[in-house]
Chain A
Amino acid sequence: METGRPDNRDLVVRVVDVVKSYQSATAPVHALRRVSTEIGQGERIALLGKSGSGKSTLLNLLGGLDRPTSGNIWVYGRDLAEMSGNELARYRLLSVGMIFQSYNLIPSRSALENVELPMVFGGIPPRNRRQAAQHALEAVGLGQRLHHHPNELSGGECQRVAIARALVNRPKILLADEPTGNLDTATSSAIIAFLISYLCEHGTTLILVTHDEDVAGRCADRILRMQDGCLVM
């Protein structure tokens, strides 16, 4: 089943017949069932669906955190399934930025250090990465909270740190998994406003996972609905 095509834009992501199955204790679980789609440069896609519909599974596959059971995912013409572990790590480091509902910050590190982390694995010299991290945090409005640890920050601030970390390497694709799921309405609106502004400014492709129609409507210029591991019209 193929759903959605980018219009007059360069193809960034191409998903073809992707299947993802797990072996649970009792029976096999088919998280994705022959999913196919294409996403163009700068598109803002919302993956909308209920819990367990497979949207996070698809996002993890697109983020190179997991490999499909079958099928192919081409990103900028390269098949993720063919990449080695190190190539996937490099892909995660340079090509995609990921934002999670639970922020996934390292509690023992300050906001600045959390944002620096991807650049540490990229081998960027300390002075350069510190500067870049500081700019990224200033961009998300946390210029005064550089040395605060996650437990000293509010939920919204934590998510801003996570966004700064996801964007610090200027990825071409931003993958966001329920980024406002833990935030109040006002904070959600501010976060979404910032993301849209950033994406428009940099032409970054967004793939947003949400179960909230309102968030999907505000963020995305195309909505892909998922149900029982399939994309539906």
Chain B
Amino acid sequence: MRTADLLRIALTALFQQKVRTILTTAGVTIGSFILMTSLSIGRGVEGVVFHEFTKHDQLRQIQVHSGYRAKEGSIPAEDLVIKGAMSDAKRERIRQAVIRWWSRRNIHYPVVPLTKERLDALEKINHVEKLLPFVYQGCRVYLANKNWEVTSCASPANNTHLRNRLVAGKFFESDAEEAVVVHEYLLYLLGIISEEEVEGVLGKKLRLEFRMDRRRSPALLVTLLNSGRTNLSADEEKVLEKAMQQIPNTLDKLELTSAEKATLQRILNEPARESKPIPEFAFGREFTIKGVIREYTDQDMVSAWDLGRIVRTAEVFLPVKTAEELFAGTPHYREHGFDSVTVVVDKEENIAEVVRQIQGMGLQEYSLIKIYEQIQTNVVLLTFATGFIAMIALMVAALGITNTMVMGVLERTKEIGVMKAVGARDGHIQFIFLVEGGLIGAIGGGVGIFLSWLAAVPGDAFADSLMVKQTGNHLESSLFVFPLWLTLGVPLLAILITTLAAVYPARRAARVNPIEALRHE
């Protein structure tokens, strides 16, 4: 028997029972649609999440912070004594809490600082591509005869957020230039107003003056006295500093009892925990103004992860290696190191290994890979849940097919008998019914895919509107992804399930006794 005839006979049989075929196929269509759509969205969400996590290489980055947790040996033994009756497990938990709280109260500078030597050690870890130390330092800028207190920040040359905000000049071409990029607002404050003036400032020198380890900033006095001023000139700062230095000598003039004055003296005379206070250190350097960035807008895709929020508040940007070189040699950084450093790893799969080694160095670390993996797990679980429901729908549809086809065998008993009488083999009859089942799966699966494909357009539009409403961001890619394996796999699965559903009726049809069948009315 020819395959084309087999298909034709099966199709004719299905066509003769249009309503029944449509209803039976509808079940398969619904199951295939749900399965296809859920798997497609699962893949799409996974893709969107991966895209979001990788578009700025965040997945390959580990944020490393100095270790602030005190070592047990450095904590006074009496502080570690846990008194009272309790279980050993609870005693150990309380002891760990004591160590943690002791560290928070007593450790002001890192126990494991991110010094230059430690950065070198981090860079030597296998799979580490590069280090981007985080520098965020207040300074005073001088341009011509004007100055302003600002915040400087280090930025890698490939910082797309800042590049996108460039309105004049260029961004850094390397991480080690002697140049700065400044905010247009800073220029405005310094009297550079019009666009022409802004263009004119490019290439000029901007002097940055840093005063490190000022434990008592004069600005504190402004805050203490509840002044409305937010920025001080250099001269004003000097006056405030002078006033601050005299405050301890004025305590006797306060309206306090002798006991209260004694308490105050005791508090103020408490020695600092740090063994060797670092002396104040000031230095300055001139940099060429290379570019100007505009104020950020809501459209700027700035995430908290890549220091975006901090970058927003800075007015002056230094190339990351230049900043590292600038500060690494200062007494403060030599002693206490950088607050944090971004470790860029060559591939996502090597993150875990690098993290393990960083932890071994006593440093604190944080990477998005764990969150990404968690999200990925959630997506997979959700996809599995919807896929499972779809499979149940397909199974129910399959049971419907079995039932319908068993009825079909009964109704077509005589036809089966005639076919056998004129030379059909049992196998021919069986095949005809199996092909009918398979065709229901193929048609249902095909229509299900088509509907899923159709649903992608309004589905994406709806998801995008939800995204905009909740996050203000647009979808960057479709949530419906139809890879080849899925486009072929779902109808094939539908065909498999419906063909299996047809096995019982097909065997029953093949076993029909032709003599009884020919007598059947």
Given contact pairs A120-B5, A123-B2, A106 touches B426 in the complex (Cβ within 8 A)? no
- Give CA–CA (A94, B425) in the complex, Å: 13
Contact of A104 among B9, B414, B427 (CB under 8 A): B414
Q: Tell me the chain B residues, 482-521 only, with Cβ under 8 Å from chain A.
A: 514-515, 518
Q: Is the CB of A117 within 8 A of B422?
A: yes
Q: Tell me the chain A residues, 115-169 only, with Cβ under 8 Å from chain B.
A: 117-118, 120-123, 125-126, 165, 169
Give, as a whole number of angstroms, the nearest-CB distance from A211 to chain B.
17
Which among A34-42, A43-51, A59-67, A199-207 touches the partner chain?
A59-67
Number of residues in A with C-beta < 8 Å to the partner?
A: 27
A-B contact count (CB 8 A): 67
Chain A residues within 8 Å of B425, by CB: 85-86, 89-90, 121
- Give CA–CA (A123, B423) in the complex, Å: 11
A16 at the interface (CB under 8 A from B): no
Contact of B514 among A65, A94, A106, A120 (CB under 8 A): A65
Give, as a whole number of angstroms, the nearest-CB distance from B367 to chain A.
66
Q: Is the CB of A90 within 8 A of B423?
A: yes
Given contact pairs A92-B421, A105-B418, A121-B1, A85 touches B518 in the complex (Cβ within 8 A)? no
A-facing mask of B403-415, CB < 8 A → 1, else 0?
Answer: 0000000000011
A93 at the interface (CB under 8 A from B): yes
Q: Is the CB of B515 within 8 A of A165?
A: no
B265 at the interface (CB under 8 A from A): no
B419 at the interface (CB under 8 A from A): yes
Nearest A residue (CB) for B417: A104
Given contact pairs A66-B515, A120-B5, A121-B1, A108 touches B12 in the complex (Cβ within 8 A)? yes
Q: Is the CB of B417 within 8 A of A121?
A: no
B-facing mask of A60-98, CB < 8 A → 1, else 0?
Answer: 100101100000000000000000011001101110001
Give, as a whole number of angstroms, the nearest-CB distance from A174 to chain B.
13
Chain B residues within 8 Å of A126, by CB: 4-5
- Give CA–CA (A93, B422) in the complex, Å: 6
Q: Is the CB of B421 within 8 A of A121?
A: no
Chain A residues within 8 Å of B424, by CB: 89, 121
Interface of B is mostly: helix
- Give CA–CA (A94, B424) in the complex, Å: 11
- Give CA–CA (A123, B431) in the complex, Å: 14
- Give CA–CA (A122, B423) in the complex, Å: 8
B420 at the interface (CB under 8 A from A): yes
B257 at the interface (CB under 8 A from A): no
Given contact pairs A89-B423, A89-B424, A108-B12, A120 touches B1 in the complex (Cβ within 8 A)? yes
Q: Tell me the chain A residues, 11-37 only, with Cβ under 8 Å from chain B.
A: none
Q: Is the CB of B422 within 8 A of A100?
A: no
B194 at the interface (CB under 8 A from A): no
Chain A residues within 8 Å of B427, by CB: 86
- Give CA–CA (A102, B238) in the complex, Å: 121
Nearest A residue (CB) for B6: A120
Q: Is the CB of B423 within 8 A of A94?
A: yes
Q: Tell me the chain B residues, 462-481 only, with Cβ under 8 Å from chain A.
A: none
Q: Is the CB of B422 within 8 A of A108?
A: no
Chain A residues within 8 Å of B421, by CB: 63, 65, 92, 98, 104
Q: Is the CB of A106 within 8 A of B415?
A: yes
Q: Is the CB of A120 within 8 A of B12?
A: no
Chain A residues within 8 Å of B161, by CB: none
Give, as a whole number of angstroms, the nearest-CB distance from A109 to chain B.
8
Chain B residues within 8 Å of A105, by CB: 418
Contact of A120 among B9, B414, B415 (CB under 8 A): B9
Q: Is the CB of A104 within 8 A of B518?
A: yes
- Give CA–CA (A63, B420) in the complex, Å: 11
Q: Is the CB of B420 within 8 A of A118?
A: no
- Give CA–CA (A98, B419) in the complex, Å: 12
Q: Tell me the chain B residues, 15-30 only, with Cβ under 8 Å from chain A.
A: 16
Chain B residues within 8 Å of A65, by CB: 420-421, 514-515, 518
Nearest B residue (CB) for A91: B423
B332 at the interface (CB under 8 A from A): no
8 closest cross-chain pairs (CB), A and B: A93-B423, A118-B422, A89-B425, A121-B423, A121-B424, A92-B423, A65-B514, A120-B5
- Can you list 21 residue pairs at the A/B interface with Cβ under 8 Å? A63-B421, A65-B420, A65-B421, A85-B425, A86-B426, A89-B423, A89-B424, A89-B425, A90-B425, A92-B422, A94-B423, A104-B417, A104-B418, A106-B415, A106-B418, A108-B12, A117-B422, A120-B9, A121-B1, A125-B2, A126-B5
